[in-house]
Amino acid sequence: MPSDIAKNLTQVRRRITLAAKHAERDPAEIELIAVSKTKPAAAVLEAIAARCNSFGENKVQEADTKISEIGRDKADWHLIGHLQKNKARRAVQLFDVIHSVDSPELAHRLERICAEEARPSLDVLVQVDLAGETTKSGIAETELQLLVEVLKRCEHLRFIGLMVIPPFFDDPEDARPFFQRLRAIRDRLREEGVFAEGEGELSMGMTHDLEVAIEEGATMVRIGTAIFGERG
């Protein structure tokens, strides 16, 4: 008997495939990141058994406990939450990808720590705050270019793409302009040739709005609730 998590994963994969077909895209170019924040290691292990191998966590400390239970090399670990500078070293040790770089200071710090930890490379995305919600994390569009210039000069950080969290809307259609905007910024940066490898990832789309995000070009979707159920 497949577990609920295995069944949910099947459903989510189906949603991704359908949305990709609808947008005349290849579903294989969309990476599913299962967001396991607040969920126990046992839930992650069930997802791994169902051939899911990328997980998103938003807190370094919680991820630390979980990853040590499961094994650092059992999956790819993505940090999707705001990174405080005093957690940067542990983040470099734990994560394969950081989606939430949002200041030149943080970029400099991560770069220095990679050198100190003898970590040859770390994949990073820049989180852009397109809603002007200053309480949330993410860099304002007006300050983005400065951060991009810093990342260009980093030897260890590999700048691979952009991430956005739109405000919550009841109607996922309302998130579309945010996804379109992120894509336009990505396209411009791609022209500039700033991405470490080719195209530039777009990390966007959650349980509620993954179809819209995929139609607008998402290459990484971050899905929690639809896989692991509601969070307490």
Ligand X SMILES: *Cc1c(COP(=O)(O)O)cnc(C)c1O
Q: Does 208 bind ligand X (CB under 6 A)?
A: yes
Alpha helices in the chain (DSSP H): 4-22, 41-49, 60-70, 88-94, 104-116, 141-152, 176-192, 210-215, 225-228
* CB nearer ligand X, residue 98 or residue 156: 98
Q: Does 206 bind ligand X (CB under 6 A)?
A: yes
Range in contact with ligand X (rule: CB under 6 A) among 24-32, 47-55, 65-73, 221-229? 221-229
Give the C-alpha separation, 208 to 220, whole Å. Answer: 15
* CB nearer ligand X, residue 156 or residue 178: 178
Give the three-state DSSP class for 223. Answer: strand
Give the C-alpha separation, 23 to 161, whole Å. Answer: 21
Pick the binder of ligand X from 54, 58, 137, 219 (CB under 6 A): 58
**Residue 222 CB neighbours (<10 A):** 25
Pick the binder of ligand X from 207, 211, 214, 215 (CB under 6 A): 207
* CB nearer ligand X, residue 156 or residue 175: 175
**Residue 13 CB neighbours (<10 A):** 18
Residue nearest to ligand X as judged by C-beta position? 224
Pick the binder of ligand X from 65, 171, 225, 229 (CB under 6 A): 225
Q: Does 87 bind ligand X (CB under 6 A)?
A: no
Range in contact with ligand X (rule: CB under 6 A) among 8-16, 111-119, 176-184, 200-208? 200-208
Pick the binder of ligand X from 37, 74, 89, 181 (CB under 6 A): 37
In order of 88, 115, 116, 122, 135, the CA distances from 61 in angstroms are 11, 22, 21, 19, 21
